[in-house]
Amino acid sequence: MNSHVHSYAFGIATLNRKGEIIEVYYPRPEADITGSEAKLLIDLLKSAGALEEGYLRLRNEPNHEEELIHEIKPLLNDQTFTKEKDQILDILESENPILTLQIKDEAPKNIPQAFLKLHLLSHRLVMPNSINLDGLFGVLRNLAWTNKGAIDIEDLPRKQLEARRQGEVLEINSVDKFPKMANYVVPSGVRIADTSRIRLGAHIGKGTTVMHEGFINFNAGTEGTAMIEGRISAGVIIGTNSDLGGSSSTMGTLSGGGTELVSVGKNCLIGANAGIGFPLADGCIVEAGLYVTSGTKINLLDESGTLIRKVKAKEISGLKNYLFRRNSLSGAVECTPIKNAATLNEELHTHN
């Protein structure tokens, strides 16, 4: 039998005071697996009646205490899970071990599934916009992310007072549905100057540097080498060797009224404080301080500077190697062909 599993992971869950799962950390998620491991996992969840839910708490389940762990450990001594064995054993020793399994790429139904999907993105196992994240906001809980881990909002005031009474501080770093990525995984070959600006679910390509002003939402990110000092909205992907200048903006579709899904091609440069609301083709430059939305009317020029025609930005989003600028004397936005694409500073990226 050739079983196939979209993704799975062993993880460690955080529970709230009511014993509900509010968050899961998966040190080593796996995607797109077939064969004996896939079959074994499916059988395991099936036998526990957890296939529908898609996850299994391996300890503390009312009727299964210890049993499941005893069931799983021998399986690990087989020829399965050879690479992850040590990590899985470590996880099984934690207070709240969990096994999550997605057979098909369905919309996340619960927190373990939602967190698995976010992990897949940040572990570079899937690309942004390639998996089903429908209803994600409704599944995730709004939590306080603190120096003592994730805390249910309702439990917060009590814990804050308790800490202060003892002369300590409960440091609340974020109150959000998404934690910061770096506390879950730091993918290879990246620099992230301020980790609080990257949500779990971001996909950061190898060779990417994210400076202090850079931001990457979930289901968004870079393909490979890139310099990110601007904001990558949900759903936006930045091509290899591109540079987002300080506080540059890629218009999102979650809020603010943007409808066009933005992307940035390879070898692009969006200048500091600039922004785009349309897909930018390879080799294009948007000058510092200029915001071009999909409806911005533009004077399209040829190489000699002669007007070809007036266009809307979205009509020319396929044009490669063009410079978008505002003529500083006439005030008109212009688009003009360029010969030399922008290049990244190798010294900043070769040593990541």
Q: Which of residues 29-68 bind its own copies (CB under 8 A)?
A: none
Which residues, 240 to 269, sit near its own copies by CB under 8 A?
Answer: 243, 245-247, 249, 251, 254-257, 269
The pattern of x and - marking residues 182 through 201 that bind its own copies according to CB under 8 A reads xxxxx-x-xxxxxxxx-x--
Is residue 229 flagged as an active site residue?
yes
CB of 219 to its own copies, least distance (A): 14
- Closest to its own copies by CB, 264 vs 290, is 290
Interface residue with its own copies, options 35, 73, 130, 153 (CB under 8 A): 153
Please report how close the Cβ of residue 312 comes to its own copies at its closest, in angstroms: 10
Give the span between the Cα atoms of 36 and 34, in whole angstroms: 7
Distant-in-sequence, close-in-space partners of 345: CB < 8 Å, separation ≥ 6: 227
DSSP per residue, 275-290: EESSPBPTT-EE-TT-
Site for its own copies in 68-127 (CB under 8 A): 87, 90-91, 93-95
Residue 41 has phi, psi (to 5 degrees) of -65, -45
User: Is 38 or 342 the residue whose CB approaches its own copies more closely?
Assistant: 342
Of residues 69, 332, 337, 338, which one binds its own copies by CB under 8 A?
332
- How does DSSP classify residue 196? G
Compare residues 6 and 179 and give the one whose CB is closer to its own copies: 179
Per rule CB under 8 A, is residue 4 in the interface with its own copies? no
| Helices marked H in the chain | 36-47, 67-76, 85-92, 111-122, 136-139, 156-165, 346-350
Interface size with its own copies, residues (CB under 8 A): 102
For 228, list phi and psi in degrees, rounded to 5. Answer: -115, 105
d(CA 14, CA 112): 10
Q: By CB under 8 A, is residue 142 in contact with its own copies? A: yes
Q: Residue 328, interface with its own copies (CB under 8 A)?
A: yes
Interaction residues for its own copies, span 287-326 (CB under 8 A) = 287-291, 293, 296-299, 310, 326
The window from 52-60, 71-79, 260-268, 338-346 that contacts its own copies (CB under 8 A) reads: 338-346
The residue among 161 and 308 lying less far from its own copies, judged by its C-beta, is 161
Please state the closest distance from residue 265 (CB atom) to its own copies, in A. Answer: 17
Residue located via tokens 């998620």: 29
Largest Cα–Cα distance in the chain?
A: 78
Q: Which of 43, 67, 175, 308 binds its own copies (CB under 8 A)?
A: 175
End-to-end CA distance of the chain: 43
Tell the smallest beta-carbon distance from residue 327 to its own copies (Å): 8
Rg (CA), the chain: 24
Closest CA to 130 of 198, 204, 263, 220: 220
Q: Which one of the listed residues 23, 229, 287, 334 is annotated catalytic?
A: 229
3-state secondary structure of 262: coil
CA atoms within a 13 Å half-sphere pointing along the CA-CB vector of 319: 20
Q: Which residues participate in catalysis according to the annotation? A: 229
